[in-house]
Chain A
Amino acid sequence: MLNQIIFGYFAVTMISLALIVITRKNIMHSIVYMLILFFHIAGLYLFLNAEFLAAIQIIVYAGAIMVLFLFVIMLLNLREELRKSRFAITWPIGAIFVVLSAVMIIISVFGNRFANVGNVKISDIEKVGHTVAVGKLLFVEYLFPFEVASLILLVAIVGAIVLAKKEIK
């Protein structure tokens, strides 16, 4: 019961925060709400016994990504943004589609069923430590996707340089 209440709190708060983020007029306010959202996601990870992920969530998202957002905002003209209307004129059409999709998703959720949970138990993870467990999974089981992800990061670096460098000779 307590589990459900805690999860319910996180779920409801996270969805409301996400809605607040996209509806604020001032982008600075959006960012602050997003920060709170990131902390809630980290809380949810903790609740799932995933301490390592929770720490990473805070370091990467609340730390690094947030700073990136702030940098970009510094480059924008905030006063101009504040005067403009928040949404394009067509937003009611978008809203209709969102509501319809939400109805579709809610209907489907009642057909909910869950597969057998994986064969790794929480007690096993506690035995070796969470970081070790994640590391082993990442470098043994998921080695190939891990390497592909490194290529994606390389593309991101090359792409950023190509698009942003002042002049390429």
Chain B
Amino acid sequence: MQVPDLIPVVPEILMTILVLSLLVIDLFIKQKEYIAVYTVVGSLLVIISVFYCTGVTFKGMFVADSYSIFFKMIFLINVIFAAIISVEYLKKRASLYGEYYVLLVFATIGMMIMASAGNLIVLYLGLELMALSTYVLAGIIRTDGLSTEAAVKYFLLGAFSSAILLYGISLLYGITGSLDIREIGLYIAKEGIINNKLLLLGLVFFITSFGFKIAAAPFHMWTPDVYHGAPTSITAFMSVGPKAAAFAIFGRVFMIVFPALSGSWVNLLIPIAILTMAVGNIVALAQTNIKRMLAYSSIAHAGYALLGIIAASNEGLSAMMNYMLIYLFMNVGAFILVIMLNNQAKVGDSIHDYRGLSKSNPLAAFLMLIIMFSLTGIPPTAGFMGKLYLFMAVVNAGYGWLAVVAVIFSAISAFYYLRIVMFMFMNESIEEVKLSLVDVNGLLLIIVVFMVLFIGVNPQPFVELARLAIL
């Protein structure tokens, strides 16, 4: 018996070692902040290893190509951010457990496996690993009813979507006799069965369950409640990580398994993308809770990113990947400020708490302004560049009208993002809040805003990185 090549799996193995050692160290360390530091340092080391471990192993089940490396980079940066911003937030709520970090890392391992999945079984197991950990994380503040409710809702709907995905996988297996993503794609092309109804049904099931994971309308119903109820640090974590992971498998499965059917799935995805942008942007207008507003905004951003898949080209795929990286920075930036305000006992999640923030904390308000500009897509921020590449990809794929629709919706989004800016700069504050920017959260916020501006004025290296990473 020969031993399989383990080099491509080294990042996942290192992460598993990290998580197992976390479980043990947690027993001896009373100061849980050190566990956060350990998680951050470990994840940083894994980021380095990711770039050196490429190849295909386990008979094509695990594919560490440049496509998966790009996504793994996103996941690992995401887990580092989440680990840092959680410390003070959870301490204030007496919920800073070592297990929290264990679950964060477990969820990240699941995402990494999803991004590298070359086999539908591996894809499903990676997804379950990620999902199970996030269900628990959503409910980690056990004394908070909202948090528990979020966990239960997320779990029930997540279980449904997993079942639908399994049904789709079983149909594909029945039709093609294989679970290997590449083999299925080749088989479909060889046999010319693109009009097979059962295959189309499998495609619909895949769209449904992936649509659930990226929070696309009409599968978005869980998003506002879960994002609102979950601890804010977890909301920041799961509005980027699982979404990017779902986009990773979306791209891989649709570009490798179903390229021959692209006529069918583009027609299915266009209405979904338009509906997603509409629901996300229009319902966000009515939100007064910033976490709910960001939840709807995250639905809207999933709609924009879907445009990259609709383009069904390598250009679209790299635009989508680039957008996920940019979304990571701007979304985490927005949540850092929410968390910093949350950490002040006096203020809550209402958008009215942002009134007059520029008077008491001019720098923090200015940083938030940049992030809100970026989420709207105003130059010279990264958000503008991300949207530009996405819309360009859609136009080049021949859907110019879709780009126009997307631009209109992002103009609508300016209303609710800039409302926060207006509250911060043009209103008198009700309560004075003093935010310190010299603690870890503040420093992280500055770094994130720097990245948003840096990608905004100098997007070329990141675009090139994403372009190299295409399938």
Give, as a whole number of angstroms, the nearest-CB distance from A76 to chain B: 15
B140 at the A/B interface (Cβ < 8 Å)?
yes
Contact B61 A145 (CB under 8 A): yes
A1 close to B (CB within 8 Å): no
Nearest A residue (CB) for B187: A115
Contact of B113 among A142, A148, A168 (CB under 8 A): A148
Looking across the interface, which residue of chain B has its beta carbon closest to that of A168? B97
Q: A117 contacts B177, CB within 8 Å? A: yes
Q: Among the listed A108, A112, A142, A155, which residue makes an inter-chain contact with B129, where contact means beta carbons less than 8 Å apart?
A: A155
Residues of A within 8 A of B140 (CB): 162
Chain A residue nearest to B148 in the complex (CB): A163
Task: Check A109 for interface membership: any CB of B closer than 8 A.
Answer: yes
In the complex, what residue of chain A is closest to B97 when comparing beta carbons? Answer: A168
Report if A92 contacts B (CB, 8 A): no
Checking A113, A116, A140, A151 against B193 with a beta-carbon cut-off of 8 angstroms, the contacting residue is A113
A109-B198, A113-B198 known; A144 vs B175 contact (CB < 8 Å): no
CB-based nearest B residue for A136 = B1
| Interface-lining segment among B120-128, B313-321, B422-430 | B120-128
Categorize the interface residue count of chain B: 35 or more
CB atoms of B198 and A111 under 8 A apart: yes
Interface residues on A, range: 20 to 34
Q: Mark B1-30, 1 if CB is under 8 A from A, else 0.
A: 100100001000000100000010000000
Indicate with 1 or 0, residue by residue over A133-169, a CB within 8 angstroms of chain B CB atoms. 0000000111111001101101110110111000010
Whole-angstrom CA separation of A148 from B200 in the bound complex: 29
Provide the A104-135 mask, 1 if CB < 8 A to any CB of B, else 0: 11011111111111100000000000000000
Bound state CA distance, A118 and B180, in angstroms? 13
B133, B135, B187 pick with most chain A CB within 10 angstroms: B133
Of all chain B residues, the one with the shortest Cβ separation from A149 is B125
For A154, what are the chain B residues with a Cβ–Cβ distance below 8 Å? 106
Q: Which residues of A contact B100 (CB under 8 A)?
A: 162
Docked Cα-Cα span, A7 to B139, in Å, equals 43
Nearest CB of B to A6, in Å:
20
B1 touches A143 (CB 8 A): no
In angstroms, Cα B102 to Cα A118, docked, is: 40
In angstroms, Cα B132 to Cα A108, docked, is 32
Chain A residue at minimum C-beta to C-beta distance from B178 = A115
Whole-angstrom distance between the Cβ of B32 and the nearest chain A Cβ: 11
- Which 10 residue pairs across A and B have the least CB separation, nearest first? A115-B177, A111-B197, A159-B136, A108-B197, A108-B201, A144-B58, A148-B125, A162-B99, A145-B121, A155-B132
